[in-house]
Amino acid sequence: MLSVKNIKKSYAGVAALRGVDIDLDVGLTAIVGDNGAGKSTLMKILSGVVRPDEGEIVIDGSPVTLDSPTRARSLGIESLYQDLALADTLDVASNVFLGRELVKRRLLIHTLDDKAMRRAAAETLKAVGIGIPDVKLPVRQLSGGQRQAVALARAMYFSAQVILLDEPTAALGPKETAAFTRVVREFVERRTTVCMVTHNLPQVMELADRIVVMRAGRVVATMNVSDVTEEQLLGLMVGSAAAV
Amino acid sequence: MTSVRDRVRRGSGSSMTRDLVSASLRGRLPVVLVLVLMIIVFGVTGQGFFTNISFQNITSSTSLFLLIALGETFVMISGGIDISLASNLAFSALTAGILMTKMYHGHGDGALIVIEVAVITIIVGSLIGMINGLIISFLKISPLIVTLGSWGAFFGLAEWLSVKYPIGTLPPASFTFGNDGPVVAWIVWLTIGCVLIFAFVLARTRFGRYIFAIGANREAVVRAGVPVRRFTVYLYVIAGLMAGLAGFISTCDFQTASSETGSSYLLIAIAAVVIGGTPLSGGEGSILGTVVGALIISVLENGFVLLGINTFMQLVAVGAATVLAVYFDQVQGRMRIRAIAMGAQGETSE
């Protein structure tokens, strides 16, 4: 269980988050909201890229400081970014292990263990269930869905407890989105906490267990997916409906 | 979808050395062919191309700018550039010359002095690189601008040094180091050692992997938790270190130094890197490519000398070769993009 309590963040005097409280439990929590609602800032704070001005983050009862992406990762928080944080010219295996390369000791120097990384990457991708012909391919030769799979394989290999997805299917075609949805379901079944920011309301209705609606830097509604319709959700996002 | 190329690649075995070589040569075969072709052409037309002296000339002259090109390769793969290396080299060469002049009083061969000054010069070069790296990393100013600025600053300082402190008699040991050695000069052996170390670091270590990754997508590397700023500083320190080393070697080789020392090396070094397949945009490249690029330039220069072509034309030829290399790289890149687009089509129709 990951909770954020009274998180505030301003950029050059402009408030992006004005005191946000959210509990992320096992299962999929979708965060929806109009542009500028503060969703992406919240995700950046949870992944350790941005530090909040105020507030507290609590994991399983103990407060934590997410002061770097490395720290967030060591606490089991993995992020998939809108712009796919992959290094295009590196191969698939190098990207899965970027920043956490497997090494072996030769004399006094740690050298990259590419063989082990390729094997592990291939196995994990197989488990993710999105086909990639060869883990030695540079990721720029992959399709959007395959690239997404590389990012998911990263999360899966390092057995993430919390997965943050920022507009995960924005760049994907229908077939790829379906494959991606299947993988996300699998994560949820493994009792992972998944938090997804998206504009895609049908996808929210299909995938999410809980929905958090944000508007202008605040949480305006939190509900179970069964308690709300897509129309009501839309109303909440733009602010034309009363809070549920 | 399995393309023919994938199948070929998968069938190609996976021994580490073969991997290393194939990874460095991927798409660079035309450049190697150009080198071979040039050697054949000059061998046939230029008298005395296949002589020991010609071989010594080529290896020695390649060494000096190849040393800078190695550091520049790292920087350029990371998506940066360092154009201050020319004046760093001059400043370091003068530092070495002045220190050796002051310390050597005509007793013995002065080997110890040479070693001491070598260490100091390398530190001086590294410090210049560190200034570049810190400004680029922490003040977030474009590498081109920062190194243009320090190029000017250290060129000025080098001129001041050269006017203020004349270089006199250098220790005989420095001449030996710069010009003698088994089969080829010691400086060539040193360069070969550096090539091996750079190639190893780039292909087999985490640092090497991050150099590529920073060039491909800096933000991705930051988010992966890699201390990118620190590594960026290291890259410019390494480039500066190599310029310092090249400066020291140049003083030993020519037994003098001036603010103009190595002024043409920067163009040649960057040309070697670019001809060797490292794009200005970074993310790709190899040490082997740079070595081949450097050899092409050296063979070209030597061939020109043997054919009696005006030496001024050499730089013209190097400049033209660089532009051509970039042009062919872009053509290759466009073909690759087209191939990917076609591959993606094949996939959706699957």
pLDDT tens readout for residues B162-178: 999 988 888 888 888 88
Measured between alpha carbons, how far is B337 from A210 in angstroms, rounded to an integer?
Answer: 41
Beta carbons of B25 and B288 less than 8 angstroms apart = yes
Q: Which residues of chain A does B217 touch, with a Cβ-Cβ cutoff of 8 Å?
A: 85-88
Domain ranges of chain B: 57-261
What's the mean pLDDT in A215-224?
A: 89
10 Å CB burial of residue B166 (0-12, 13-18, 19+) is exposed
Between A145 and A5, the more confident residue is A5
Same domain, A143 and A105: yes
Nearest neighbour of A98 by CB, restricted to B10, B224, B344: B224
- Tell how far CA A69 is from the center of its chain: 13
Residue A182 has pLDDT above 70, yes or no: yes
Pairing relation of β-strands A109-112 and A103-106? antiparallel
- pLDDT at residue B84, as a whole number: 95
Residue B334 has pLDDT above 70, yes or no: no
A85/B2 touch (CB, cutoff 8 Å), yes or no: no
What's the mean pLDDT in A88-104?
A: 91
Nearest neighbour of A69 by CB, restricted to B217, B224, B348: B224
The chain B residue lying nearest A114, using CA atoms, is B204
Question: What single letter denotes the amino acid at residue B282?
Answer: G
- Percent of chain A, pLDDT > 70? 96
Same domain, A178 and A231: yes
For chain B, the distance separating the N- and C-terminal CA atoms, rounded to the nearest angstrom, is 8
- Percent of chain B, pLDDT > 70? 85
Same domain, A211 and A223: yes
A 3-62 residues with CB below 8 A of B?
47, 49
Name the 3-class secondary structure at B301: helix
Question: What's the length of chain A?
Answer: 244
- pLDDT at residue B91, as a whole number: 96
| Domain extent for A133 | 81-159
Same domain, A57 and A71: yes
Q: Check CB contact of A67 with chain B, cutoff 8 Å.
A: no
- pLDDT at residue B13, as a whole number: 37
Residue A179 has pLDDT above 50, yes or no: yes
Beta carbons of B154 and B132 less than 8 angstroms apart = no
Same domain, A105 and A144: yes
Residue of B271, B273, B276 whose CA lies nearest to B28: B276
Between A236 and B85, the more confident residue is B85
Residue B16 has pLDDT above 60, yes or no: no
Residue B193 has pLDDT above 90, yes or no: yes
Same domain, A218 and A116: no
Q: Check CB contact of A79 with chain B, cutoff 8 Å.
A: yes
Instruction: Examine the fold and report which residue of A159, A179, A197 is the final residue of a domain before the chain moves on.
Output: A159
- Measured in angstroms, the CA of A86 and the nearest CA of chain B are apart by 6
Same domain, A70 and A35: yes
Lowest mean pLDDT, pick from A36-45, A49-58, A164-173, B61-70: A164-173
Same domain, A120 and A52: no
Nearest neighbour of B212 by CB, restricted to A90, A99, A175: A90
Number of domains in chain A: 2
- pLDDT at residue B105, as a whole number: 86
- pLDDT at residue A35, as a whole number: 83
What's the mean pLDDT in B289-307?
A: 86
What's the mean pLDDT in B136-150?
A: 95
Same domain, A37 and A151: no
The predicted-structure confidence for B233-259, as pLDDT tens digits, reads as follows 999 999 999 999 999 999 998 888 888
- pLDDT at residue B4, as a whole number: 36
Q: Structurally, what CATH architecture does the domain formed by B57-261 represent?
A: Orthogonal Bundle (1.10)
Q: Which residues of chain B does A136 touch, with a Cβ-Cβ cutoff of 8 Å?
A: 9
- pLDDT at residue B287, as a whole number: 94
Measured between alpha carbons, how far is B243 from B237 in angstroms, rounded to an integer?
Answer: 10
What's the mean pLDDT in B200-221?
A: 94
Question: What's the length of chain B?
Answer: 350
Instruction: Examine the fold and report which residue of A159, A182, A213 is the final residue of a domain before the chain moves on.
Output: A159
Give whichever of B50-54, B292-296, B337-341 has the largest mean pLDDT.
Answer: B292-296
- pLDDT at residue A201, as a whole number: 87
The predicted-structure confidence for B79-126, as pLDDT tens digits, reads as follows 999 999 999 999 999 999 999 999 988 788 888 899 999 999 999 999
What's the mean pLDDT in B121-147?
A: 96
- pLDDT at residue B207, as a whole number: 95
Same domain, A170 and A212: yes
Residue A215 has pLDDT above 70, yes or no: yes
Measured between alpha carbons, how far is B215 from A89 in angstroms, rounded to an integer?
Answer: 9
What's the mean pLDDT in B19-33?
A: 60
The predicted-structure confidence for A119-162, as pLDDT tens digits, reads as follows 999 888 887 776 788 888 888 888 777 888 888 888 888 878 89
Q: Which ipTM score applies to this complex?
A: 0.78
Same domain, A12 and A127: no
The percent of chain B in helix, strand and coil, each rounded to the nearest 5, is: 75, 0, 25
- pLDDT at residue A166, as a whole number: 85
Residue B279 has pLDDT above 90, yes or no: no
Measured between alpha carbons, how far is A180 from A184 in angstroms, rounded to an integer?
Answer: 6
A137/B219 touch (CB, cutoff 8 Å), yes or no: no
Measured between alpha carbons, how far is B122 from B244 in angstroms, rounded to an integer?
Answer: 5
DSSP B176-225: HHHH--SSS-HHHHHHHHHHHHHHHHHHHSHHHHHHHHHHHHHHHHHHTT
Same domain, A128 and A191: no
Residue A159: Cβ within 10 Å count: 10
Lowest mean pLDDT, pick from B80-89, B193-202, B217-226: B217-226
- pLDDT at residue B1, as a whole number: 37
The chain A residue lying nearest B15, using CA atoms, is A115
Query: Is the pTM higher than 0.80?
Result: yes
The CATH number covering residue A50 comes to: 3.40.50.300
